[in-house]
Amino acid sequence: MNTALYSAAVVPSWDLDAWRRLARAGLSARVAPEAVFWSGEAQACLLANADLAGAPSLQPPPTIPAGFFELAGRVVCHTDPLRHALMYRIAWRLTHGGERQLLLQPTDPDIDAAERLAGAVARDTHKMKAFVRFRALPGPDEAFIAWFEPQYCILDRIAPFFVRRFHAMRWAILTPYRRAVWDSVELRFGAGAQRGEAPSQDDHDDLWRLYYTSIFNPARLNERAMQQEMPKRYWKNLPEARLLSQLSRDSGARVEKMLRSAAKAEAAPRQRGHKDPAGGA
């Protein structure tokens, strides 16, 4: 067992490969979890410990069950400052600890903590897929920009989804911590942005609101459920958000109108059926 103390800075802090390189070094050097101070780029270590990347290897990197990396890929996107250490502790237990079935124990405190972080990242990913709105840039070139504020560092993880969905478009997604740019050939990442770098509206917004109004079903309105699915913090980027209050206020009248129309449509065949025999048809 290596008894020295080490520091491990994951840069960028959401990058699974960056964490994985350090973890492999630590596991090969048999550095116990309690001997490593993990940090992201915003959490500099004040201790003069050795770098975990340079720890002397005592053995080949042990094999980690593949399912671990699916979990770790989501956990590393969270902003919890203890997530890197948590993943290393689980990796240690899976390998040197001999707990190969650890991932199948949801009540284990480490697995439970990791699943909760992963679940939060998964929900944030779902929201970003649903609420990113691209706006056209002025000018002859068709290019689009979207502004989004994810709760966690998920842009690298989710950008390939938008590449597949809008492959023929040229677009950029700007977030406070990072940007993704797709030029219809290559996906690149860069520094974070300011809200003002993206248009707040474009000529397509009215068309989108018209479409949203046409598909809005007042009979299914459940404001509590709607705000759970569409939290208000996303509304400022959604063209349809300005319609919601009015649509909610009008929903009762629209439902009444729908019921009257349905009753009228139902009554019409009966009336025709009643008249037809009298008319000698």
pTM for the model: 0.78
pLDDT (average), residues 129-140: 87
Q: Which residue has the higher pLDDT, 240 or 129?
A: 129
Q: What is the mean pLDDT of residues 83-107?
A: 96
3-state secondary structure 195-234: HHHCCCCCCCHHHHHHHHHHHCCHHHCCHHHHHHHCCHHH
Per-residue pLDDT of 214-264, as tens digits, reads 777 777 667 677 677 777 788 788 887 777 777 777 777 777 777 777 777
Mean pLDDT of the 99-128 span: 96
User: Beta-carbon neighbour count of residue 135 at 10 Å?
Assistant: 20
Q: Map tokens 């948590």 to a residue.
A: 86
Grouping H, G, I as helix, E, B as strand and the rest as coil, residue 71 is helix
Give Rg (Cα) of the chain. 27
Express each pLDDT in 33-53 by its tens digit: 999 999 886 555 556 789 999
